[in-house]
């Protein structure tokens, strides 16, 4: 009864999310295809979930071949404390293109509540600062004397986020918003249409289930839904096969944007390396050769039994 109630709550939340579409705004937080290997990137409630000191770094080069292609770097570290009921972590972000640069640092806290013999409900919060820099002088314009494009934006703002994460042995789902505050950013003086920018709220919903096909083969379908206030909802539909806990191969479909191939390899018991390639299916495929992404994860367990296979 309790699990069914929780699923109903999450279903209501996702329906509300899907109904909140409107005007188009761009994705302001970094987009990663291998989020399923580091869920804390989108949900603070995941901190400490893996019962080990988990250190992860991710790098993404998007739309290679495109002149102003963005690139993103992400670093995180998290671990459980207080009999594994509390998770603590940090997140560092560097997201940039030719004109814009965003640096972020967040502290993360989560608290786990057992809801059954093999199920838990975790709550998470995060807080920190983002520094935004924009160099409008690098924009190609017709009138080089236009004052709207002769300035720089350099602003630091505080923000915080929250999330919930529910799991059993084979099933999980989460709902989160990493940045709840819609900060405004203004240039040094007001000179026209480009005088103000607004940081939009992002909402993430993800869920998945692990099917044991044999002792050495597991199949995990999953879904990630991304929502940005004022923007159409986007989603990833993922399928991953885990082979003897030595390799994971999968494919993802991102609506109207890309088809993604993913591979993840265990190099050492504590070390895993992953790679993803996005084949662009939008209009950008005319100029883009796709997107490349690499993830490196090191997991140090204080209890060696904690390094048993984990599929989410």
Q: How many structural domains does the chain have?
A: 1
CATH number at residue 165: 2.40.160.40
Say if residues 274 and 264 touch (Cβ distance below 8 Å). yes
What is the pLDDT, as a whole number, of residue 310?
A: 76
- Nearest one of 178, 154, 173 to 31, comparing CA atoms: 178
Quick one: average pLDDT of 154-163? 93
Using CA atoms, how far residue 288 sits from 15, 59, 163, in Å, is: 34, 18, 34
Token pair, residue 166, equals: 């529910």
How many angstroms separate the CA atoms of 56 and 296, rounded? 6
Residue 296 pLDDT > 70, yes or no? Answer: yes
Residue 305 pLDDT > 60, yes or no? Answer: no
* Residue 6 in domain: yes
Query: How high is the mean pLDDT of the chain?
Result: 83
What is the pLDDT, as a whole number, of residue 75?
A: 97
Structure pTM? Answer: 0.84
What is the pLDDT, as a whole number, of residue 56?
A: 97
Using CA atoms, how far residue 234 sits from 32, 225, 256, in Å, is: 13, 6, 9
* Residue 277 in domain: yes
Quick one: average pLDDT of 162-173? 96
At 104-120, the pLDDT tens digits run: 999 999 999 999 988 99
Domain that holds residue 247: 2-307
What is the pLDDT, as a whole number, of residue 93?
A: 96
What is the pLDDT, as a whole number, of residue 17?
A: 40
* Residue 312 in domain: no
At 30-74, the pLDDT tens digits run: 889 999 999 999 999 999 998 899 999 999 998 887 767 889 999
Residue 151 pLDDT > 50, yes or no? Answer: yes
Radius of gyration of the chain (CA): 20
How many angstroms separate the CA atoms of 139 and 134, rounded? 10
How many angstroms separate the CA atoms of 179 and 133, rounded? 18
More confident residue, 111 or 100: 111
pLDDT-based confidence at residue 14 (cuts at 50, 70, 90): very low
What is the pLDDT, as a whole number, of residue 51?
A: 86
Residue 185 pLDDT > 80, yes or no? Answer: no
What is the pLDDT, as a whole number, of residue 40?
A: 95
- Nearest one of 277, 208, 274, 308 to 56, comparing CA atoms: 274
- Nearest one of 157, 154, 236 to 200, comparing CA atoms: 157
pLDDT-based confidence at residue 123 (cuts at 50, 70, 90): very high
Residue 302 pLDDT > 90, yes or no? Answer: no
pLDDT-based confidence at residue 237 (cuts at 50, 70, 90): very high
* Residue 76 in domain: yes
* Residue 118 in domain: yes
Residue 8 pLDDT > 50, yes or no? Answer: no
Q: Are strands 234-243 and 217-228 parallel, antiparallel or unpaired?
A: antiparallel
Quick one: average pLDDT of 202-208? 96
Percentage of residues in the chain with pLDDT exceeding 70? 77
Residue 198 pLDDT > 60, yes or no? Answer: yes
What is the pLDDT, as a whole number, of residue 6?
A: 47
């Amino acid at each position: 009864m309790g699990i069914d109630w929780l699923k109903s709550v999450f279903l209501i939340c996702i329906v509300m999310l899907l109904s909140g579409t409107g005007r188009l705004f761009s994705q302001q937080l970094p987009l990663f295809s291998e989020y399923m290997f580091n869920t804390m990137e989108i949900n603070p409630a995941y901190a400490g979930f893996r019962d080990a000191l988990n250190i992860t770094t991710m790098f993404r080069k998007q739309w290679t071949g495109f002149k102003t292609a963005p690139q993103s770097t992400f670093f995180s570290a998290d671990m459980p404390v207080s009999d594994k009921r509390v998770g603590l972590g940090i997140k560092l972000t560097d997201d940039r293109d030719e004109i814009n640069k965003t640096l972020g640092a967040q502290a993360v806290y989560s608290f786990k509540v057992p809801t059954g013999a093999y199920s838990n409900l975790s709550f998470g919060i995060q807080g920190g600062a983002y520094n935004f820099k924009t160099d409008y002088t690098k924009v190609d314009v017709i009138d080089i004397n236009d004052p709207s494009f002769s300035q720089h934006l350099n602003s630091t703002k505080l923000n915080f986020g929250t999330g919930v994460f529910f799991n059993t042995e084979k099933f999980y789902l989460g709902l989160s918003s990493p940045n709840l505050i819609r900060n405004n950013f203004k240039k040094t003086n007001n000179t026209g249409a480009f005088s103000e920018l607004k940081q939009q709220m992002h909402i993430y919903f993800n869920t998945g289930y692990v099917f044991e096909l044999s002792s050495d083969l597991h199949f995990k379908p999953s879904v990630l839904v991304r929502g940005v206030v004022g923007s159409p909802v986007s989603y990833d539909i993922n399928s991953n096969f885990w082979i003897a806990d030595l390799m994971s191969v999968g494919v993802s479909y991102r609506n109207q944007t890309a088809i993604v191939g993913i591979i993840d390899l265990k190099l050492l018991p504590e070390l895993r390396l992953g790679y993803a390639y996005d084949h662009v299916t939008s209009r950008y495929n005319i100029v883009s050769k796709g997107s490349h992404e690499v993830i490196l994860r090191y997991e140090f367990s204080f209890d060696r039994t904690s390094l048993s296979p984990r599929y989410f």
